[in-house]
Structure 1
Amino acid sequence: MTDMTRSTENHENYDLRSVIERLKKYDNEYVETNEPVDPAAELSGVYRYVGAGGTVMRPTRTGPAMVFNKIKGYDDFRVLIGLLSSRQRVARILGAPKEELARLLRDAVHKAIDPIVIANEQAVCQEVIHLASDEGFDLRTLLPAPTNTPEDAGPYFTMGMCYAADPQTGEHDVTIHRLCVQGKDEISMYFVPGRHLDQFRIKAEQAGNALPITISIGVDPAIEIGACFEPPTTPLGFDELSIAGGLRGRAVELVQGVAVNARAIANAEVVIEGELIPDYRVREDQHTNTGKAMPEFPGYTGDAQAAVPVIKVKAVTHRKHPILQTCIGPSDEHTNLAGIPTEASILGMVERALPGLVKNVHCPSPGTGKYMAVLQINKRSLQDEGRQRQAALLAFSAFSELKHVFLVDEDVDIFDLNDVIWAMTTRYQGDADTIFIPGVRCHPLDPSQDPAFSSSIRAHGITCKTIYDCTVPYHLKANFQRSQFMEVDVDRFLPGFSNLTQ
């Protein structure tokens, strides 16, 4: 697909509804149901079989995005799940081959376009307005926030674009967080340590102030993917909405909130406006006492946090006949949201330091998009021998939550884990090709990163990062040539075959 064609398609896809219309043109990318569904565990229970994939307990599969048109107890709402749970679907949404998404996102960082603010009367996200001061206002009956499982701490918003400004500099940041409905106008917000919005919250709290914030749900997926970039690619103060601008070739449109001094995404399906209250915490499972939060990306249910900050909701606005977007925590939706920006970050950093050495990067489903990366190495001469391991070290620097890096040669398909494991089987010796880096801070949601699991771990969230070098030593490459087959036109024998394999 040419850049010009991609630019035209991106210009036509600027909100959730236009993207859904685009997906309807393809087979097996989008389905709807009119069967009434309960948002409490049943909705996710259905999609687990339809298309969740990822680290969800088997049986599950890669399948279409799904809209539930009838939500029990919520007459006007529809719920979309699994929009990004297929890499091929992400590629179609962004207008690039699925193997080129890392480069597409890397380039978008360098072509970033700052968001703009439009007038309130132009913002479709404010077609309907509910103020918390209205009699009878209650988040629990207003929005059909699902639970993933029966033991969740409560209903969660899992695909909310949380947007706020640094109270000292005015710089903005957008990220996705675990948001649990705790009452008629309260939402708890879980921060993994180091997140930028948490830094904004801490600054406001230290000054004794609330932090105005908006949560935009149901937006252009380019925004959702761009929001998942992390340092060092997007340092504190870098507004990731500008990456979505670079992806689409047009600025993301924002609108001033109706009840708080914060901006929201103007074409969102739903916007929640509120304030993070200083010095106020709640127990995440205060209503269920299960000790559980919700299923997280490693495939396990996260522990409920004893004390999490709280958003006091001031208003909810939405489009007419809105679509609430959600996801299953361990699904491949997380793999693609987290993994593709990680691929772009690794590719960008390694290319700057070691030009031409790494052909491509993939963060596959079993690694959850965060814990595992496969680097495709192109050793051009004997001088490149050993640099593949430098590339792995750079990958750890580019993304601090990475746990395992697999290095493979240029003839290995990094998007086919069968091929990666084949390389590990025939081009790897455990005693010579495994590099351990113990005692490094990683991610707290991996349950193996705990002293109870291994005496070598000093504190929860610390791990042994590992490099698996499955590349052939340069001087032996001639001995590891794969069998070469004749190139043929399969369509001559099976007409339309190439279309079926795309």
Structure 2
Amino acid sequence: MAHEVSDLRSALELLESVPGQMVSTDVEVDPSAELAGVYRYIGAGGTVARPTKLGPAMIFNKIKGHPGARVVIGVLADRGRVAALLNTRPDRLGFLLRNAVKNAIQPVVVGPDQAKCQEVVYKATDPDFDIRKILPAPTNTPEDAGPYVTFGMCYASDVETGESDVTIHRLCLQSKDEISMFFTPGARHLGAFREKAEALGKPLPISISIGVDPAVEIAACFEPPTTPLGFNELSIAGAIRGKAVELAPCLTIQENCIANAEYVIEGELLVGKRIREDINSNTGKAMPEFPGYTGPANPEVPVIKVKAITTRKNPIMQTCIGPSEEHVNMAGIPTEASIIDMVERAMPGRLQNVYAAPPGGGKFLAVLQFKKGVPSDEGRQRQAALLAFSAFPELKQVILVDEDVDLFDMNDVMWAMTTRLQGDVDIVTIPGVRCHPLDPSNDAACSWTIRDHGIACKTIYDATVPFREKQRFIRAKFMEVDPKKWLPDFGA
């Protein structure tokens, strides 16, 4: 790889060296809805309302109301781009992350002289301190509850054991020194840390690092059971790079932050304090979430009291559109790694690959490519699907395909479902299972069988050919040629 990636800036340098992967504009943009509105057309993809498409990452060099600030969006909004940033092939990303989990390298704490994130310091004790003026945080739509930090690496520690972890949460700027923090029930390690601290009557110190190495951003999206409580996902990023992630002590709280981050927010989760998420907008809505719908504003969310913000010189704010392909890759690639690991341990050699496809936002839908090598493998493909649900509990649907189907091409997947699946025998339903509350169909209003919001019917679509019938389902075989003989620039 031409450029070694260790932080956001080196990642952007790499993308700038690859044709078609990075664009920029000097035209001023309003961070309130306009910035996301622009990128929706340029490269958002995912479950964003059409028209949208996959495209390059984009830097906005002039942000209305924030002189000198820059905002980058879409760094991870393309699977090929993620692969380039992690120095692998797009089809091997799940395997790379699976190996990284098994070969974790714990983070290290460096001295203040190496804390690039603290080159500029803003303290809440300053009379003109206002996080809304310091952070050029965008809104996705005009209905959003407020400006959101969507790419914040939230880092905190268990108040009793000292075990630390990093996760990504929905963070809304609510006032000059307060940020609301949304926790999906039971889905994040920091939620357990917060609950324990609050039970003890203690505020929880927390740092939020924005604009970091993409390896950290991907690693932060792992969930149990692959990374149980006490597993620090920064160690996965260390394994990806073959070098420990460097942390630095915060200036105003007893916690660490990512030393080369562009921005760091230092604060404490307050004991017992809750706030209505849309207290400033009164829209009843939060922001667009990965399923493609705007999440409802939570009536009571915990509050972070901000103590300071530190930055690098000329910092770059990193953001994403909630339902974009960026979320698909961040959430989906760790999902793939988790499923690969679970199935491979149970039945080695049969699972060929996994794709957490864009229609599911990286969480709800997985395509499993399974090879039946002997007659006794018949039925094991469905066992693999059941293991996938165990590996990633928020998964709602699994599509099973044979090894001759390109699982990364949803047209090919739909072809397999159309020509190899019979609805009465190849669709397996598992009702009444806890899934994810952000899927609006997981609600009693949609089915009398659903007892509580967030419960759903998990479904397996078995589009594999019965082993005894494989000879009847051989795809047409074309002559292998090199098209560059006729079109020298083909594939360039």
Match of 2:209 among 207, 210, 216: 216
Q: Which residue of 2 aligns with 1:243?
A: 236
Pairs within 5 Å for 1:53-64: 53-64=45-56
Instruction: Tell whether 2:46 aligns with 1:82.
Output: no
Match of 1:165 among 157, 164, 181: 157
**Partner SS for 2:292:** coil
Pairs within 5 Å for 1:28-427: 28-194=20-186, 195-427=188-420
Q: Percent identity?
A: 65
Q: Which residue of 2 aligns with 1:497?
A: 490
Q: Which residue of 1 aligns with 2:451?
A: 458
* CA deviation profile, 1:382-415 (whole Å, cap 9, x unmatched): 0100000000000000000000000000000000
- 1:373, 1:495 → 2: CA distance? 36
Instruction: Tell whether 2:422 aligns with 1:437.
Output: no
**Partner SS for 1:163:** strand
Q: What is the root-mean-square deviation of aligned Cα atoms in Å? A: 0.8
**Partner SS for 1:395:** helix
- 2:360, 2:34 → 1: CA distance? 27
Contact 1:49 1:60 in 2 (8 A): yes
Amino acid at match of 1:289: N
Amino acid at match of 1:102: G
Amino acid at match of 1:32: S
Q: CA deviation at 1:264?
A: 0.2
Structure 2 unaligned residues grouped into runs of 5+: none
Q: CA deviation at 1:498?
A: 3.2
Q: CA deviation at 1:496?
A: 2.6
Instruction: Tell whether 2:441 aligns with 1:448.
Output: yes
Amino acid at match of 1:335: V
Amino acid at match of 2:305: K
* CA deviation profile, 1:79-117 (whole Å, cap 9, x unmatched): 011111100100111111101111011111112110000
* CA deviation profile, 1:140-185 (whole Å, cap 9, x unmatched): 1111111000010011000000000011110011000000001000
- 1:250, 1:76 → 2: CA distance? 33
Q: Which residue of 1 aligns with 2:9?
A: 17
Contact 1:441 1:462 in 2 (8 A): yes
Q: CA deviation at 1:76?
A: 2.2
Contact 1:490 1:498 in 2 (8 A): no
Amino acid at match of 2:70: R
Q: CA deviation at 1:337?
A: 0.3
Amino acid at match of 2:416: A
- 1:296, 1:425 → 2: CA distance? 30
* CA deviation profile, 1:268-303 (whole Å, cap 9, x unmatched): 000000000000000000111110000000000000
Q: CA deviation at 1:333?
A: 0.4
Amino acid at match of 2:15: L
Structure 1 unaligned residues grouped into runs of 5+: none
- 1:351, 1:177 → 2: CA distance? 30
**Partner SS for 2:303:** strand
Normalising to structure 1: TM-score of the pair? Answer: 0.97
Normalising to structure 2: TM-score of the pair? Answer: 0.99
- 2:214, 2:466 → 1: CA distance? 41
- 1:24, 1:180 → 2: CA distance? 31
* CA deviation profile, 1:403-459 (whole Å, cap 9, x unmatched): 000000000000000100000011000000010000000000000000011111111
